[in-house]
């Protein structure tokens, strides 16, 4: 598997993911996301800074340069198009789609990207509800800005029992195969109507369409986005 992974591209995509989720990109966050050691992350970031892909601010934030952001967007686009192909055409279980797309993103050509776009009639979101960036580079409109969203945790606390629609499962959720299996088995996926309430420090989420429920920790519920 390691032969198919480009570490630089993986780090660029991770920085972009953190930005999307409103988390300040730092080396420590990359350590958490990728499970790499601190020294390994520091060495890789230093190399990327030397290569002009990012800069390290005085507050230790990682800032993508113009070329770094362009490459990060390209990698993210390939990743999410691969996710759509794996889920929609190949029928791979959603618990496996993210990890498999992490391999495909490094070897997919632009020609293949264009074929996927044609085959799937211009997809704008991944199977997890995350927008596919950089679509203008393939000649189609980028995903529209999301409507009003809130976290599942906020919905559970502020409107317990009120119906909401799952809008987005972020990358941090996608990377947890065990959690994704739980969500998939429950039916707690993008587009599902759910109700949520907080009980004893946990978030109980019910999916009327499947008649099933899942207990989530507050951190997971904070990551999942819903709409009314």
| Average pLDDT, integer, range 136-146 | 82
pLDDT of res. 209: 96
51 to 19, 34, 223: CA distances (angstroms): 21, 21, 33
Selected from 2.60.40.10, 3.10.129.10, 1.10.60.10, 3.40.50.10860, the CATH number assigned to the domain covering 73-138 reads 1.10.60.10
pLDDT digits (tens, 9 = 90+) for 63-108: 999 999 999 999 999 999 999 999 999 999 998 999 999 999 999 9
Q: How many CA atoms lie within 13 A of 26 on its CB side?
A: 10
Cα of first residue to Cα of last residue in the chain, in angstroms, is: 41
Assign domain 150-227 to its CATH superfamily. Answer: Ferrous iron transport protein A (FeoA) (2.30.30.90)
**Is the CB of residue 62 less than 8 Å from the CB of residue 54?**
yes
Give start-end residues of each CATH 2.30.30.90 domain in the chain: 150-227
pLDDT digits (tens, 9 = 90+) for 110-133: 999 999 999 999 999 999 999 999
Cβ neighbors of 39 (< 8 A, separation 6 or more) are none
Given a cut of 90, whether residue 40 has pLDDT beyond it is yes
Give start-end residues of each CATH 1.10.60.10 domain in the chain: 73-138
When pLDDT is cut at 50, 70 and 90, the band that residue 3 belongs to is very low
Query: In CATH, what number does 7-67 get?
Result: 1.10.10.10
**Is the CB of residue 170 less than 8 Å from the CB of residue 21?**
yes
Given a cut of 70, whether residue 2 has pLDDT beyond it is no
């Amino acid at each position: 598997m390691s032969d198919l992974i480009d570490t630089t591209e993986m780090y660029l995509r991770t920085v972009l993911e953190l930005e999307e989720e409103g988390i300040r990109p730092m080396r420590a966050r990359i350590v958490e996301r990728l499970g790499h050691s601190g020294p390994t992350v520091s060495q890789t970031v230093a190399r990327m800074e030397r290569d002009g892909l990012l800069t390290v601010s005085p507050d230790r934030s990682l800032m993508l340069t113009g070329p770094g952001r362009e490459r990060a967007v390209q990698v993210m686009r390939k990743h999410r198009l691969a996710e759509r192909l794996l889920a929609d055409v190949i029928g791979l279980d959603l618990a496996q789609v993210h990890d498999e797309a992490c391999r495909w993103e490094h070897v997919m050509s632009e020609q293949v990207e264009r074929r996927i776009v044609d085959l799937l009639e211009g997809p704008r979101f991944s199977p997890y509800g995350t927008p596919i960036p950089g679509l203008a580079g393939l000649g189609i409109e980028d995903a529209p800005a999301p409507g009003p969203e809130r976290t599942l945790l906020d919905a559970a606390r502020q409107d317990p029992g009120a119906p909401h629609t799952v809008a987005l499962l972020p990358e941090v959720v996608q990377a947890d195969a065990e959690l994704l299996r739980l969500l998939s088995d429950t039916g707690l996926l993008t587009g599902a109507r759910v109700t949520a309430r907080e009980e004893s420090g946990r978030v109980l989420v019910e999916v009327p369409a499947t008649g099933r429920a899942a207990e989530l920790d507050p951190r997971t519920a904070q990551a999942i986005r819903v709409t009314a």
